[in-house]
């Protein structure tokens, strides 16, 4: 009769084998955790994209989902503002944080643009005001769509999936900018077509540090201040687009994180086409 093999308990194993087994267990647990997070990330990214595609379909309809839901009202809407464009009435009724819509051809950038009283809320909330790591595209709380700020600054996450402002990095290539010179940004009150001027990387500076801070440039108090800002951004730009803006022009600034170089932010600035 064959002898039954005695089961060796973990505590009886030699110390080197114990260590190897413990390391194997740890890495297995980490791998399972990473796979679980990746699956969650892929699902959330897919759900987010599907949700925004649905929102795009709602433009120009009269479907209202959140009529009775408490919403964060954007800061710039008042009784004296023009009528909201028919295209955006439905979306605005669903969430009064809406200030417009941004789109760039041949990218995934085709999203509603939001605003809240601070610059934190839409970092991790979607249009439906649900928690979402993708966040939303939103304008700086100091900007105004009516009366319109000279510069409207938009923020969005640089998602590896290309969602939000993940595809903004395509403008690092001059050829892409030449083939896609326009950014389309509508506010609630007017449609807009903007031509790309400057593309650059930059940092977030200490409050006391003396430097041009693009994220604080919203309204110039004079032609000289405007010209100084344009010169600063032109000097930082990765390439010369040949496009400039004069005092009194409307511009937009799109900003996201930069994971590829030393700069903390990647920025695209565009001038409204008259």
Beta bridge pairs of residue 151: 251
Residues 6+ apart with CB under 8 A from 162: 107, 108
In the DSSP assignment, the letter for residue 125 is B
CA distance 179 to 183: 12
pLDDT tens digits, one per residue of 236-264: 999 999 999 999 999 999 999 998 777 89
Q: Is the pLDDT reported for residue 48 higher than 80?
A: no
What CATH number is given for 41-272 in this structure? 2.40.260.10
Q: Over range 217-229, report the average pLDDT.
A: 97
Closest CA to 168 of 157, 184, 153: 157
pLDDT tens digits, one per residue of 55-100: 666 676 665 555 445 555 555 555 588 999 999 999 999 999 999 9
What is the residue extent of each domain of the chain?
41-272
Beta bridge pairs of residue 184: 103, 193
What's the mean per-residue pLDDT of the chain? 86
CA distance 122 to 165: 13
Identify the three-state secondary structure at position 194. strand
Residue 10: per-residue pLDDT: 61
Encoded tokens for 198: 């400057």
Q: Is the pLDDT reported for residue 219 higher than 80?
A: yes
Residue 43: per-residue pLDDT: 54
Q: Over range 167-185, report the average pLDDT.
A: 98
């Amino acid at each position: 009769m064959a002898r039954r093999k005695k089961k060796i308990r973990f505590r009886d194993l030699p110390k080197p084998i114990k260590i190897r087994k413990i390391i194997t267990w740890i890495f297995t647990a980490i791998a399972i955790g990473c796979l679980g997070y990746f699956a969650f990330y892929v699902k959330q990214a897919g759900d987010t994209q599907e949700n925004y595609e649905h929102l795009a379909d709602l433009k120009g309809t009269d479907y209202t989902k959140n009529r009775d839901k408490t919403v964060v009202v954007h800061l710039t809407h008042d009784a004296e503002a023009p009528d909201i464009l028919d295209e955006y009435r439905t979306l605005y009724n669903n969430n009064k944080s809406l200030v417009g819509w941004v789109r760039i051809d041949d990218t995934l950038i085709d999203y509603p643009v939001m605003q809240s009283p601070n610059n934190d809320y839409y970092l991790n909330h979607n249009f439906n005001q649900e928690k979402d790591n993708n966040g939303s595209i939103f304008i700086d709380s100091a900007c105004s769509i009516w009366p319109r700020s000279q510069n409207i600054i938009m923020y969005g996450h640089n998602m590896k999936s290309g969602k939000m402002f993940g595809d903004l990095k395509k403008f690092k290539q001059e050829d892409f900018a030449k083939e896609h010179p326009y950014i389309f940004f509508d506010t609630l009150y007017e449609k807009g077509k903007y031509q790309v001027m400057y593309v650059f990387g930059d940092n977030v500076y200490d409050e006391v540090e003396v430097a041009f801070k693009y994220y604080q440039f919203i309204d110039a108090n004079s032609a000289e201040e405007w010209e100084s800002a344009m010169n600063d951004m032109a000097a930082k730009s990765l390439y010369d687009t040949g496009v400039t803006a004069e005092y009194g022009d409307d511009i937009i600034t799109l900003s996201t994180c930069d994971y590829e170089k030393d700069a903390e932010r990647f920025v695209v600035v565009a001038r409204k086409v008259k």
